[in-house]
Structure 1
Amino acid sequence: MDDDDMLRVAWNDFERLNKVGKPFLFSLLTIGTHTPSGFIPRSCEGLEYNENAVPMLRAVHCSDLLVSKFIEQIRSSSYAANTIIVLQNDHPLFYKNAIDGGFGDGLKDERDLFVILDDDLDGEFEIKKRGTSFDTFTTVLGYLGILDEMNFGRNLLSRESLPFDADDEFFVNASRILPKLSYDEAVRAQQESNK
């Protein structure tokens, strides 16, 4: 499902869950910026952007627009006061290398995105503790005062999670496994396993 369609369905579900009147967690995953070239839904086909931009950068521009509109829809609704919005990526994507099609380099310059939007926050602050996307849900639960540690995650508001630096050999090698896999390879492997 393209991101624009998914966000339309998500808004209806968000409204329905709010009307029930009980606390809930609502998690969405967009696909627009997934490699190798991103996915541009029909609603963004006419979106003006740098005509020389590679498809991935066009997809990033589209996703940024769609997600920001969805967030504004929530924040301008009657549900805004009781809603905390968390934005995160599921893994770093080396956007500076998306321009020339290379992925996997520039690891030391990339960070996970993790943002909490809450009207109760006074100003903004940056967490500079080391962690992974495994830590984000635990950090949200810690922010809500529920728990600070799970099997796969730590609350980054209270402590670091990773016992090694970003340039540690183990971290570098583990982080480069995914970029070396291609969609075509995955499809071929799936077809072979179905035989």
Structure 2
Amino acid sequence: MKGIRMGYFFSLLGVLITSALAFSAKWAMNYFGLSCFEQIVFHLKVPLEGTNTEFLHDWVRLCFSKAIAATVIFLLLILCVPIIRIESGYISAWLCLLFLIIAAHRVGFFEWVINQFRHTGLYDQYYTDPHDVHLEFPEQKQNLIHIFMESMETTYTSKENGGDYPEDLIPELSKLAKDPDNVHFSHTDRMGGAHVVAGTGWTTGGMVAQTAGVGLTVPTVSHRFKENTPFLGHSKTLGDILEEQGYQQELCIGSDATFGGRRYYYEQHGHTEIFDYEKAKAFLPEGYHVFWGFEDEKLVEFAKQELTRLAAGDQPFHFTLLTVDTHHPKGYKGHDYQDIYPERLSNIIRISSARIGELVEWIQQQPFYANTTVMISGDHTSMAEDYIRHTYEKDYDRTVYNVFLHAKNKTEYTHRRLFTTMDLFPTTLSAMGVKIPGHRLGLGTDLFSGQKTLAETVGLEKLDQELRKQSDVYWKKIL
């Protein structure tokens, strides 16, 4: 009798766990906007300290509760239907297998497994190792301020401007993009931007793409990224290049930089100083923690202080800012939140545009601006899947926002370009007045040059497919 009861227990436990996985897989793809299984593999290999735990409440409500309900139904069937009671072990095994298959299919696991045995010649043919390129910096080196705006898309501008919202949620950013003194690259003849491909669709992947010209399609057998472990140890990134040129470098973010391996990437490539939530605790009220750490209102004020400090030094500086308020799934509602639009995230996006617009105005009023290039870009397209699905057209071509202010280079090749966020790596250097022989770094192409990008050469879909496959070059020259 005891053995039978234990059999029932393990049958029910198996159904509970595997059904929770099946429900969680669908929920996670929508809630987090997961673009590929590679994203899951990467986050299994990096520290997750500082994660916003708000999602746990939604998971319990939307996933675990359903798993409990499924388990209770199975228990009732065991109690009420003799044949199911007799064959409960056999039936539960098949149920568990079915739930596992559903979960694996929903997160793209099977496609990922197949790609582990496929090899691509993409890197052999098109990868340009920055170690082998002799970059020519101008005699008067430009400071660089790179503002990464969380999940910022041109989708949020009005349909009239080329976006997909009835009116403009980002008028300050739209004004900057349309200003003839600035440079905005677009995939259309109106406002547009960069496409996201495999390995670039989340924050760390997006930041790496724009500063190293590669995606984070990390093989499953690679090492785990942690302290004292190389993070893309063979790569030469924007941080490495600017360090060689004597730049002071700083990353300023409103969360724990350890999350997703960002701390290790920036510290190892350019010895970048980190100003994150952990460092900001000394300047915040004791125990202060909202959203991922602290909100953008405080972040912008810290950024002004840090920029003033860096500008007072004798070296050129490279300052990177990463906003957080527009982070999926719902964004952060600060005290200045206003219900103007039906969607919560639309209102937060509106505030974010205004806040960065104000920061840009402040930067332009500072003495150091005369010798500074400012780049504003989204880190990736939004992962707030529910918001996107219910607010915008399904077939709208979503792209990442970008604009260069005070660029030392000009070009006529700004619109109707097919490009990815990897192309922003050499383009940023070119905007600073750096000459790049061959106009390519990593898998990126300098958009100022007018030379065809990799997406324009092989096609966007083909590029995305090839990036998911294995490459010896990725192992030896990048990872």
TM over 0.5: yes
Map 1:15-164; keep pairs closer than 5 Å: 15-40=308-333, 42=334, 45-50=335-340, 52-93=341-382, 98=387, 101=390, 105-106=394-395, 108-118=396-406, 126-143=414-431, 144-147=433-436, 148-158=439-449, 159=451, 160-162=453-455, 163-164=457-458
Mark the structure with the bigger radius of gyration: 2
Q: CA deviation at 1:96?
A: 11
TM-score by length of 2: 0.31
Q: Counterpart of 1:183?
A: none
Measured against aligned partners, the alpha-carbon deviations of 1:25-65 in whole angstroms (never above 9, x if no partner) come to: 1111111222111123x3xx234441x52111111011111
Larger fraction in helix? 2
The amino acid of 2:365's aligned partner reads S
Q: CA contact under 8 A between 1:32 and 1:63: conserved in structure 2?
A: yes
Aligned residue-pair number: 168
SS in 2 for 1:25: strand
TM-score normalized by the length of structure 1: 0.70
Asked if structure 2 preserves the Cα contact closer than 8 Å seen for 1:164 and 1:171, the reply is no
**Further displaced range: 96-105 or 70-79:** 96-105
Instruction: State which drifts further: 115-124 or 3-12.
Output: 115-124
Amino acid at match of 1:30: T
Structure 1: how far apart are the matches of 2:361 and 2:310? 18
Q: Which runs of 5+ in 1 are unaligned?
A: 175-195
Distance 2:346 2:412 in 1: 28
Provide the identity percentage: 21
Deviations 1:99-134 (A, max 9, x none): 66478943x522221100117678997343222112
Structure 1 contact 94–105 (Cα < 8 Å) conserved: no
Output the CA distance in 2 between the equivalents of 1:88 and 1:110. 14
2:442 and 2:388 map into 1 onto residues whose CA distance is: 37
1:79 and 1:124 map into 2 onto residues whose CA distance is 28
Could you say what secondary structure the match of 1:85 adopts?
A: strand
Return the offset for 1:89. Answer: 0.8
Question: In 2, are the aligned partners of 1:138 and 1:154 still within 8 Å (CA)?
Answer: yes
Q: Secondary structure at the match of 1:79?
A: helix
Please give the per-residue CA displacement for 1:145-185, whole angstroms capped at 9, x wherever unaligned: 2433222422122222314445x37749x9xxxxxxxxxxx
Partner of 2:375, secondary structure, is: strand
Distance 1:124 1:89 in 2: 23
Is contact 2:329-2:383 (8 Å) kept?
no
Contact 2:378 2:402 in 1 (8 A): yes
**Partner SS state of residue 367, structure 2:** coil
Greater relative CO, 1 or 2 (CA 8 Å, sep 6+): 2
Structure 1 Cα separation of the partners of residues 458 and 338 of structure 2: 42
How many Å apart are 1:85 and its aligned residue? Answer: 0.9
Shift in alpha-carbon separation, 1:38–1:165, aligned structure 2, 3 A:
farther
